[in-house]
Chains A and B, each alone.
Chain A
Amino acid sequence: MIRFEGVHKWFKKLHVLNDVNLHVKQGEVVVLCGPSGSGKSTLIRTVNRLEPIDRGKLIVDGQNLSDPKTDINKLRAEIGFVFQQFNLYPHLSVLKNITLAPIKIRNITRGEAEEQATVLLERVGLAEKRDAYPAQLSGGQQQRVAIARALAMKPKIMLFDEPTSALDPEMIGEVLQVMQGLAHTGMTLIVVTHEMGFAREVADRVVFIDFGVILEEATPEEFFKNPKHERARLFLKEILSPMH
């Protein structure tokens, strides 16, 4: 589904992605983790070309992202992206946030789009908020709307870029539960997160990245029980027991 082959990226002189090779199969749930500044957010943003790559090859859903013939808008419509800061459209109601792209890009009727949005809102537990505006919702609610908005396009792939990092602790669970539900539907998921509980329970594979290099790729059991790389060990120690 997604294949990185020798991918490099630089921000000016900073080498943010260094020879990344990674293959994510259809229906797989991959958790990307690593210290801040490790390049994990950049990596996930290359998948829908929010960040273009400088060298190497990146194939997503059979399409080469560096190929000028690739219709990036069409490809992006197949990839849901969930941001750390939710990025709902503040001038539109919850319902319109969800129906805008299906109506304008998928060309389905308003009625159909609203029906579908209602189902999605029920699924994320926010059916009663359809007419609210983003500013009237809590962070956790906004993020669940953002997930519903991405799902409304019926994407093949969902990308989550630190979806719970901007949330108050008591709201993290509600978002993770929605994501867990998604993982069971067989959708391809890449999740950048520090929520190791989520990684342990939901991921098929954990990828550890630091200084733009993939240092470790393992099943969650292996990764948490017996991390091979020294930096992965340090990272896990920091994140699992921050006070030591």
Chain B
Amino acid sequence: MFNYKFDWAIITSGQYFDWLVSGVKVTLELSIVSVVLSFLLGLLIAVMRMSNVRPVRWFAHGYLEFFRNTPLLVQIFFWYFGSYKILPTAVNDWLNSTNFEFTAAVIALTIYTSAFIAEDIRSGVRSIPKEQMEAARSAGFSYLRSMQYIILPQAVRITIPPLINQFLNLAKNSSLAMTIGVAEITYQARQVESYTFKGFEAFTAATLVYLILSVAITALVTLYSKKMLNPMGAR
């Protein structure tokens, strides 16, 4: 009944190993680039969502509802297949000369995740006492500079745990990029399986990669917040 022959050597050396390693590299690139961009974009959208200028606030609100309430896979397809149709030929030619699969995946992951990050940051901002804004404004800081120097640095510290969650989701969601041909680790594991029929070994490897990546993200963000973002004392 149990006559599957394990062959771990096939994924720990040789050509298939190289495939998996190249997949790990792409997954790392995809995740790191998207984590950084989605955090920055999330900050921007959060600030826009709280703006006093109505059209800006409405735009941010629409953005949040739109991207949080549609499936990531559809968004990936949209950026990859959809945007292609409406862009000028020259732009398309240029895109084709680059690694457009990768770019489309970064755009989709970044925008999708930024919507969640923005909401987390906004609730962080709302937990900062309004007197902090008053203190900053009475010193002569504009609204935006008060946000930049006083409110957001405090809000982000409070937001670290939910941010870690979003980064983990992003890293795991990056596997969907295989559907548009980005050769990340899930894609490569699938390749190895097609060539060798060693699905168990190949996807065990992929699983371990995501597990290690997630633990690393949690550790790095936690370490950074402890080391760099300083003790706020008893707050």
Residues of A whose CB lies within 8 Å of any CB of B are 48, 50, 73-74, 76-79, 81, 83, 85, 87-91, 100-101, 104-105, 133-136, 149-150, 153
Chain B residues in 8 Å Cβ range of A101:
139-141
Q: Which 4 A-B pairs have the closest CB atoms?
A: A135-B233, A77-B140, A87-B135, A81-B138
17 contacts between A and B (CB under 8 A): A48-B138, A50-B134, A50-B138, A76-B138, A76-B139, A87-B129, A87-B131, A87-B134, A88-B135, A90-B235, A91-B229, A91-B230, A133-B232, A134-B233, A135-B234, A150-B139, A153-B140
Q: In the complex the two chains form, is A79's CB within 8 Å of B138's CB?
A: yes
Q: In the complex the two chains form, is A76's CB within 8 Å of B140's CB?
A: yes
CA distance A194 to B135 in the complex (A): 22
In the assembled complex, the CB of B220 is this many whole angstroms from the nearest CB of chain A, namely 21
Q: Is B62 an interface residue (CB 8 A)?
A: no
CA distance A81 to B134 in the complex (A): 10
In the assembled complex, the CB of A49 is this many whole angstroms from the nearest CB of chain B, namely 9
Q: Is B83 an interface residue (CB 8 A)?
A: no
Q: In the complex the two chains form, is A90's CB within 8 Å of B154's CB?
A: yes
> Known: A101-B139, A101-B140. Is A89-B150 also a contact (CB below 8 A)?
yes
Chain B residues in 8 Å Cβ range of A150:
139
CA distance A153 to B233 in the complex (A): 26
Chain A residues in 8 Å Cβ range of B131:
83, 85, 87
Number of A-B contacts (CB under 8 A): 69
CA distance A48 to B229 in the complex (A): 32
Q: In the complex the two chains form, is A100's CB within 8 Å of B137's CB?
A: no
CA distance A79 to B135 in the complex (A): 12
Chain A residues in 8 Å Cβ range of B134:
50, 83, 87
In the assembled complex, the CB of A57 is this many whole angstroms from the nearest CB of chain B, namely 21
CA distance A135 to B136 in the complex (A): 18
Chain A residues in 8 Å Cβ range of B229:
91
Q: Is B15 an interface residue (CB 8 A)?
A: no
Of B140, B149, B157, B232, the residue contacting A73 (CB under 8 A) is: B140
Chain B residues in 8 Å Cβ range of A78:
140
Chain B residues in 8 Å Cβ range of A81:
135, 138-139
Chain A residues in 8 Å Cβ range of B145:
104
> Known: A91-B157, A133-B231. Is A104-B135 also a contact (CB below 8 A)?
no
CA distance A44 to B138 in the complex (A): 12
Closest to B234 in A: A135
